């Protein structure tokens, strides 16, 4: 089960709507390509069918995610516990650098924000989940273990 925020749920629903709308366009592309003639050597037909299959796979993935997702409600939690939707100020124990991280269920893929998004399934996200202000969390990263002190949580 995935934990996602209400905003992330809306984002998934919008994505599903766009994918379903794209389905009609892809069916039309297949129909037009089929009309061009011999299907064995029809690159447009094969490309349209492949695009349609990829679109259908994405639709199933998003539908599955929406069906199994749990909407995170941070209002019931104490303000000093990290949960999905929390923005956390961390201090790297080794370097002393401080950075902001936001625990998300679904990454937006944007890099122009004041914080770094980490998903709950990532090493950083799983280390942060349910941690409290003042705790030191250990994160096993590809380059080795890192430790971070949780300085502040903003929901």
For 30-79, what is each residue's pLDDT tens digit?
A: 888 888 777 777 888 889 999 999 999 999 999 988 888 878 765 665 67
pTM exceeding the 0.75 threshold for the entire prediction: no
User: What distance in Å separates the CA atoms of residue 46 and residue 34, rounded to the nearest whole number?
Assistant: 9
Chain centroid offset of residue 13 CA: 13
The answer to whether 98 touches 90, Cβ cutoff 8 Å, is: yes
More confidently predicted of 17 and 80: 17
Q: What are 108-149's pLDDT values in tens digits?
A: 777 778 888 898 888 999 899 889 999 999 999 888 899 999
Tokens 């389905």 belong to which residue?
A: 23
List of domains in the chain: 3-71 (1.10.287.180), 74-154 (3.10.50.30)
Q: What are the start-end ranges of the H helices in 35-139? A: 43-68, 123-128
- Would you give the DSSP letter of residue 31? H
pLDDT tops 70 at residue 155: no
């Amino acid at each position: 089960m995935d934990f996602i925020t209400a905003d992330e749920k809306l984002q998934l629903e919008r994505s599903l709507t766009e994918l379903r709308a794209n389905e009609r366009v892809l069916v039309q592309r297949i129909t037009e390509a089929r009309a061009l003639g011999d299907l064995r050597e029809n690159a447009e037909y094969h490309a349209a069918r492949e695009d349609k299959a990829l679109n259908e796979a994405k639709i199933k993935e998003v539908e599955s995610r929406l069906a199994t997702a749990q909407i995170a409600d941070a209002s019931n939690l104490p303000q000093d516990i990290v949960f999905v939707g929390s923005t956390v100020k961390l201090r790297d124990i080794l370097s002393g650098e401080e950075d902001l991280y936001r625990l998300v269920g679904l990454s937006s893929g944007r890099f122009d924000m004041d914080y770094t998004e980490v998903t709950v399934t990532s090493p950083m996200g799983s280390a942060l989940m349910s941690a409290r202000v003042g705790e030191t969390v250990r994160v096993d990263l590809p380059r080795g273990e890192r430790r971070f002190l949780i300085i502040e949580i903003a929901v």
